[in-house]
Amino acid sequence: MTPSSPNPIRILHVDDEPDFAEMAADFLEGENERFDIETATTAADALATLDERSVDCIVSDYEMPGMHGIEFLERVRADHPDLPFILYTGKGSEEVASDAISAGVTDYLQKETGTDQYTILANRIANAVERARAEQSQQRHLSAIETAQEGISILDGGEFVYVNEAYADLYGYDREELLGEHWGLLYPDDDIETLREDILPRVEANGHWQGETIGLRADGTTFVENHRLATTEHGELVCTVLDAQSQYRQKQAIRELHNTARALIEASTAEEVANIAVDAVRDILDIPGNGLHLYDEAANGLDPVAWTDRTETLVGTPPTIGPGEGLAWKAYERGDPHVYDDVSTNSDRFSEDTPVRSQILLPLDDHGVHLLGATEPDAFDELDVSLAKTVATHTTAALDRVAREEELARQNERLSTFASIVSHDLRNPLNVAITRLELAREECDCRYHEDIDRALDRTASLLDDLHAYAEAGSATLDPELVDLAGLCETSWRHVDTGEATLVTETDQRVRADPSRLQELLGNLVRNAVTHGGDGVTVTVGDLPTGFYVADDGPGIPDDDRETVFERGYSTTEDGTGFGLAIVAELVTAHDWEIRATESDAGGARFEITGVDTSAASDC
């Protein structure tokens, strides 16, 4: 076989005469460049080869030591029922041929003199392999059709030659009942003529057709079906059908679940999230029996938080589920959804006398589990499960957000307490010290007074900035539309700017908390004046999604641009290191982003992005 041969055919030739096997291999490879032949002198060696690697065809002699060809064939068929096997033997008899056919041989050929026999053998091998490959391909296609959610059938001469399970279920028949039947069985009498006289001619002319028809179920009920027809190159008709009502239900449910997702986004507590999820499953998915349990760390169990009236009718007040108790805990622990068609057959169920038969268990990460149940077995179809998983995904995301917000609220409460201590409890003794220093100066002149005064001023500045930093971290915002240029002017007037100059190149209105944004701008202005000097020029301008504050001072070294927002960073002896840290906290509180870079004049430039400037075009 040449290395570039397409679709190589791997052949295992078994013959107890090695010279004959090698000669046959040479002739066969000369007949077909796709052949790649390996030889074995015993059936045992051939079986060992099959255990190690796959082949496309076996060619075997009959009379061999240890195991003859029929015995070898039987061993092969036990593990490889569809592998092409050609018995190529010098011993020819009707008995051998009969035994070979009974054992499942693919072909039987007697050795003869001359080279023509190798041409025949090569053709037999190629044909056997191509047939096997075609059957494997067809089987793969049929397997794919079997797993499809659409109903799929194949008709020849108007009669069903194949239907998948979904197709038979759609019309309420067993598959075997439809095979050999005419397609007219599945349509009302009034619609058969339309299909025959209008739709089928269009399929024949165009090769395909798609539209809605009326299907007739075995029980006499009808339904609207989305129907697709297409012809194969052999003239067979392939029919694909979906229940239009089921599709409508899915689309409607998805639309309503969008509203549920919005409600979950607005929920402020885990209990509120749980109630929204339970109501959605009851009202949108039409599954009245459902309840949601959340994990309680203190109790080390899944506590019921929300459930429907139907659930309480079935099981009473839902119980707390402890570690190892029932299928719900198993699903929560493993983190995988589970669907049970009949929990009464499962020994791990929570209660032996439960009236619930069908159950869907949906873990919500480490938050808990959502339980859906019905008193009938096999009550939930694939659409129920798919939509329930969608609800669970939205619920999990909402619980994640609530958990984050609750933790943030706890942090903010601690920061608020800290800010109160800074502003009140520490400020009083500081004021006492400042007053005592003034009295001491009146009574005596001491060379240490100036050092004490500077230390007290430094402490007061630290307390002011520490209080501002704590408040920034726990900021509660009240956003509104703010005129950015006007607020810049206000901030400028509240900072000691000396001979510095403000340039505003913005007409934007931004959505922000006015007092917090003024504080942010004031800190950036103060930073520019502190590091750029009295003559510095500060410019505020627009960005596509925000604004920038730049100066023409000495700028920020490249290596420091990531650390300037960290608490304690300062390049001056009397700096507290809180100014830009406060800016960063206020930016975060607004859900904005900030980065430090270089201005056009070589100074510092702070870019604030992610700002809602959409209202600017309305001004």
Return the structure tokens found at 222.
Answer: 């009808």
- Is the model more confident about 69 or about 243? 69
Look up residue 343 and give its DSSP letter: G
Quick check: 508 and 547 in contact, CB under 8 A? Answer: yes
Count the residues in the chain.
619
Distance CA 193, CA 181 (A): 17
Domain boundaries, the chain: 9-143, 148-248, 267-404, 475-618
Burial 245-278 (b: 16+ CB within 10 A, else e): ebeeeeeebeeebeebbebbeebeebebbbbbbb
Domains 148-248 and 267-404 share a fold: yes
pLDDT at 446 over 50: yes
**pLDDT winner (highest mean) among 101-110, 241-250, 308-317:** 308-317
Q: Sign of dihedral through CA atoms 173, 174, 177, 181?
A: positive
The gap from C-alpha 172 to its chain's centroid, in whole angstroms, comes to 35
Coil/strand/helix, residue 521: helix
> Do the Cβ atoms of 597 and 609 come closer than 8 Å?
no
Residue 545: which of 601, 487, 610, 591 has the closest Cα?
A: 610
How far apart (Å, rounded) are the C-alpha atoms in residues 584 and 568? 13
Fold of 475-618: Heat Shock Protein 90 (3.30.565)
pLDDT single digits (tens) 498-555: 889 999 999 999 999 888 888 889 889 988 988 887 789 999 999 999 999 999 998 8
Q: What's the burial of 66, exposed, middle or buried (CB within 10 Å: 0-12/13-18/19+)?
A: exposed
| Percent share of the chain, pLDDT over 90 | 44
Give the pLDDT confidence of 68-89 residue by residue, as tens digits: 999 999 999 999 998 999 998 8
Predicted local confidence at residue 379, as pLDDT = 92
Task: Identify the residue whose tokens are 């206000």.
Answer: 490
Pick from 149, 158, 189, 186: nearest CA to 171: 186
CATH fold of 9-143, please? Rossmann fold (3.40.50)
pLDDT of residue 2: 45
Q: Indicate the SS3 state at residue 446.
A: coil
User: Mean per-residue pLDDT for 321-326?
Assistant: 92
Q: Which amino acid is at 584?
A: A
Q: What is the pLDDT of residues 329-380, one digit of tens each?
A: 999 999 999 999 999 888 888 888 889 999 999 999 999 999 999 999 999 9
Six-digit token pair at 517?
A: 């944004």
Q: Cα(280)–Cα(526) distance, rounded to whole angstroms?
A: 53
CATH class entry, domain 148-248: alpha beta
Answer yes or no: pTM beyond 0.75: no
Look at residue 3 in the predicted model and tell me its pLDDT.
43
* C-alpha torsion sign, points 369, 372, 378, 382: negative
Token pair listed for 391: 């609800």
3-class DSSP assignment, residue 44: helix
What DSSP state is assigned to residue 182? B
CATH 3.60.15.10 fits 267-404, yes or no: no
What pLDDT does residue 468 have? Answer: 61
In the prediction, which pLDDT does 97 show? 79
- Residue 420: pLDDT band with limits 50, 70, 90: low
Q: What are phi and psi of 318, to 5 degrees?
A: -55, 140
CA distance 274 to 365: 14
Amino acid symbol at 606: F
Rg (CA), the chain: 41
